[in-house]
Amino acid sequence: MLRKSIMPRPQWQRRCEEVGFQFHSAGGLYWDESVAYRFTLAEVEQLEAVVADLHQLCLETVNWIVANDYFAPFHLPAIAIDEIRASWQRQDLSIHGRFDFSWTGFDAPKLLEYNADTPTGLLEASMLQGVWLQDVLPHAHQFNSLHEKLMDAWRAGFTWDQGSTCLHFCAIDGHEEDMANALYMMDIAQQAGLPVRFLPLETIAYDSEKNRFVDNASHEITYCYKLYPWEWVWQSDLAHHISDSKIRFIEPAWKQLLSSKAILPILWQRYPDHPNLLPASFCPNLCGPCMRKPLSRYCSTDSCIYQAFAPLPRFDDSYAVLSGWVVNDKPAGLGIREDATLITRSSSRFVPHYVD
């Protein structure tokens, strides 16, 4: 795993925009192709195996939480618990998720968190760095089968009869990153042969006579891909209608358990000394340096967990976090974010990678 200097393409901004990526220069420079990370095949295979293993452990843990009614650590309202339990028992469709790791390439990758509910950075990890590889290193490889696996996931998840309602895709109107990711997912679903429609999230309404959610053309919303955290859904006036309306969201409510930092101490309790997990606790009783983390970046409570400190590796003047993607329960790709500090922010740079 090496950080290499690379000559940017002469018209890289235009190439970004051609795949629907408009915010390449947000904050000065968001997409940075002046560097790239080089991996060996053995390193990629190791990371792929870790992602597969951790995702399976997460699914087993969700099943254990629901079976044992172990929801207290998540500090959820009753309405959320009911829907999480129901969505898991129905095995509601899940499409994707993103594990974030601290990894030098030498030791075992250490899980920092699982972005299971509203994972962003998808367009960058899939199309943007895929096109970069074709342009710059056409004979190299990349840990990136995201586009193909996403299309297969949409095909496998739905059988649509002609005349049926469409699959809705929602994001906050005007939020550039969320809109780009949602539209990219909608494009993939359309390529997979599904009828689709984009809907600004603010325009979703509830028809009390039909007991159904409807879009801005009064069409019933049956399935809805949302880039909107479940923590905010439960705070909305429409939350109490979700169960009776029969609407199905992607990602489903049970994914909130995995997206919450509360899952980290539970994973450690169930799988102590797992090589890819960091010691974590609901109390500040860990040996050595630790990080205090709120249950969610969207959470308004003071509830938190403690996780052993695993500093991000430093390459030259940058710290890198590695993101392993899961699609349809399978490892599907890698994204890398860089920052000049140990904290990865929304403005941190996204850089490509290749496999030598």
**Helix/strand/coil percent split, the chain, to 5:** 35, 25, 40
In a domain, 288, yes or no: no
Pair 116, 251: CB distance under 8 Å: yes
Eight-state DSSP code of residue 9: P
Which pLDDT score, from 0 to 100, does residue 91 have? Answer: 95
Q: Which residues fall within 8 angstroms of residue 351, CB to CB, at 6 or more apart?
A: 32, 33, 35, 36, 37, 320, 336, 337, 338
Comparing CA positions, the residue from 348, 235, 205, 224 lying closest to residue 298 is 235
In a domain, 294, yes or no: no
Give pLDDT, residue 202. Answer: 92
**Angle CA 182–183–189, to nearest 5:** 90
275 within domain boundaries? no
Instruction: Say how far apart CA 116 and CA 252 lie, in whole Å.
Output: 10
Q: Is residue 292 part of a domain?
A: no
Strand partners, 199: 170
Q: Per DSSP, what are the bridge partners of residue 338?
A: 320, 349
Note the helical H segments in the chain. 12-18, 41-67, 78-89, 122-123, 129-136, 146-157, 176-191, 230-233, 242-245, 255-259, 263-270
* HSE value, Cβ hemisphere, 13 Å, CA-based, for 207: 16
What is residue 300's predicted lDDT score, i.e. its pLDDT?
Answer: 56
Give the contacts of 134 (CB within 8 A, at least 6 positions apart).
none
Rounded to whole angstroms, the Cα distance separating 49 from 286 reads: 28
What pLDDT, on a 0 to 100 scale, did the predictor assign at position 174? Answer: 87
CB atoms within 10 A of CB 135: 12
For residue 303, what pLDDT is reported?
Answer: 87
The answer to whether position 282 is within a domain reads no
Reading the chain (356 residues) residue by residue, the pLDDT tens digits are 999 999 999 999 999 999 989 989 888 899 999 999 999 999 999 999 999 999 999 999 999 999 999 999 999 999 999 999 999 999 999 999 999 999 999 899 999 999 999 999 999 999 999 999 999 999 999 999 999 999 999 999 987 654 567 899 999 998 888 999 999 999 999 999 999 999 999 999 999 999 999 999 999 999 999 999 999 999 998 899 999 998 999 999 999 999 999 999 999 999 999 999 999 999 999 989 999 999 987 765 678 999 999 999 999 999 999 999 999 999 999 999 999 998 888 889 999 999 98
Q: Are 169 and 199 in contact (CB under 8 A)?
A: yes
DSSP characters for 297-334?
TT--S--EEEEE--PPPEETTEEEEEEEEEETTEEEEE
> Can you give the residue range of the structural domain that contains 75?
2-261+310-355
**C-beta atoms surrounding 171 within 10 Å:** 25
Q: Is 325 exposed, middle or buried (0-12, 13-18, 19+ CB in 10 A)?
A: buried
State pTM to two decimals.
0.95
Domain count across the chain:
1
pLDDT at 164: 61
* pLDDT for res 26: 85
Is 303 a domain residue?
A: no
Beta bridge partners of 101: 111, 322
* Cα(67)–Cα(348) distance, integer angstroms: 39
Q: Which pLDDT belongs to residue 93?
A: 94
User: Does any domain span residue 339?
Assistant: yes
Q: Is residue 268 part of a domain?
A: no
